[in-house]
Structure 1
């Protein structure tokens, strides 16, 4: 498992890197939904869970050849079973870059006694957090906060999740699905404070979450409109990156690029991951495998 010591060591080594320091470029890797499990494929969904180990090894080899500040996985590192972490996390440890994680719904498809262990298994001090690199503040959200599966069985957030899901169904929302989630009020207040602090510090912001919020989609966060409404009022927010919808997606709204990265687990042998570069007024995404490349213009700071 990833230890705090290994993450800090990787961070120190990266201080000497060029991807985001002297030349104003920031480059980092993005992976979405490896969803590994030692299980037969789901042919209906086109998900080949066991194949993700070899795909991850190939992705690590490619990303290790790049000059990057970090590599982030946008959730669903595993598909099920806590033992799956023991197989895929050693591959992450072969990355020469700092490793960051976002929590996904399948990361909590575990026996109840393991649910509260998940952030620690991934070396995360908290389920949601932020960090700054080269003048960009990355705000990492936990869309599983209020859900039917991530909180322990007796946690009041489960009751709140059931109420929110019923409200979404009553409203006829296309994303009223039990596999989605939402932000708790404490996390939403933290997000508002983090965005304000970034603006005060003159930092631009990229938001990272497992769940999409735009465009409308069955996979979106239950409270997507609350989140997009907040982000629309933030002139320093550049982009929102997510996974969860394995088919990928894209929208531009209020000058913010909402990029849904493709799932690595899909198809027997075609992978999906990316290298992202932010420089000046450009957001460049170099896609590998099924991930498309994009060249996007950023709004003025």
Structure 2
């Protein structure tokens, strides 16, 4: 690990707590109720460090809007800023609550960007075109059904109901944010719930256009995501794609990380099941 002299800033990462007050799914090795204690343990570690923020990469809950009432108070013990993005399970709520999810997580918008120490973070809503997140009757639901049917007809590996896509509007916004960052001399880290690279069964339906954009943008350094609980890593162009492991998996082992940003590299310090990595810039 590096000397701290070149350290610009650091932040925390949690992926897929998928909390619910339900029995474990032993076959899938998912212990939903145990995530309360695991997130609390991660927060204790984070509170011992100087962090700019802590991002949870989606799937705060597994199901039921009332699950937020149990897990969000755990984050109140965090002495740093808690940021969220939307995962597919966060929409496993009654149809009447679909439009309340982002606000319940304290998000003013389903996708957004922010600056830290001259770096731009772009936070995507990977659920925008899906068969579960848009309100009933929304045109994004119909579009999602069409996209899914097309992918299923092609036998695509990611042709699953629990994946999704960006709208063309959000994709254009992503391109604009990257371009603005380039003009301002800012490096970019993109965050989303879903993986886009390497290709796999958990990938976004429109992964190819997202990877093409990020790989061709020299100021985009990394793309960080959850969703695939076993974790993964890939590279396209000069962009690192890091899939963090899910908190909900295993009865006792945790999974979270502290990401240290340097001018020439990013150091990921993994805890529990999470891998440590060095990503060169």
TM-score by length of 1: 0.91
Correspondent of 2:58 among 69, 75, 86: 75
1:152 pairs with 2:129: no
C-alpha separation in 1, matches of 2:118 and 2:78: 24
Correspondent of 1:125 among 83, 108, 114: 108
The CA deviation string for residues 46-96 of structure 1, in whole angstroms up to 9 with x for no partner, is: 100000001011111111001100000000000000000000000111100
1:91 pairs with 2:84: no
- SS of the equivalent of 1:44 reads helix
Count of residue pairs the alignment pairs up: 278
- 1:173 Cα deviation (Å)? 1.3
- 1:209 Cα deviation (Å)? 0.2
- 1:198 Cα deviation (Å)? 0.6
Q: How does 1:1-301 map to 2 (within 5 A)?
A: 25-298=8-281
C-alpha separation in 2, matches of 1:93 and 1:171: 46
C-alpha separation in 2, matches of 1:44 and 1:24: 42
C-alpha separation in 2, matches of 1:30 and 1:83: 24
- 1:171 Cα deviation (Å)? 2.3
Unaligned runs of 5+ in 2: none
Which position in structure 2 is the counterpart of 1:16?
none
* Contact 2:7 2:260 (C-alpha < 8 Å) held by counterparts: no
* Contact 2:95 2:136 (C-alpha < 8 Å) held by counterparts: yes
- 1:23 Cα deviation (Å)? 6.1
Considering only aligned residues, what root-mean-square deviation do their CA atoms show, in Å? 1.2
C-alpha separation in 2, matches of 1:51 and 1:226: 37
* Contact 1:24 1:134 (C-alpha < 8 Å) held by counterparts: no
C-alpha separation in 1, matches of 2:167 and 2:200: 21
C-alpha separation in 1, matches of 2:113 and 2:279: 24
C-alpha separation in 2, matches of 1:256 and 1:229: 11
Which position in structure 2 is the counterpart of 1:6?
none
Runs of 4+ in 1 over 6 A off after TM superposition: none
- 1:172 Cα deviation (Å)? 2.1
TM-score by length of 2: 0.97
- SS of the equivalent of 1:25 reads strand
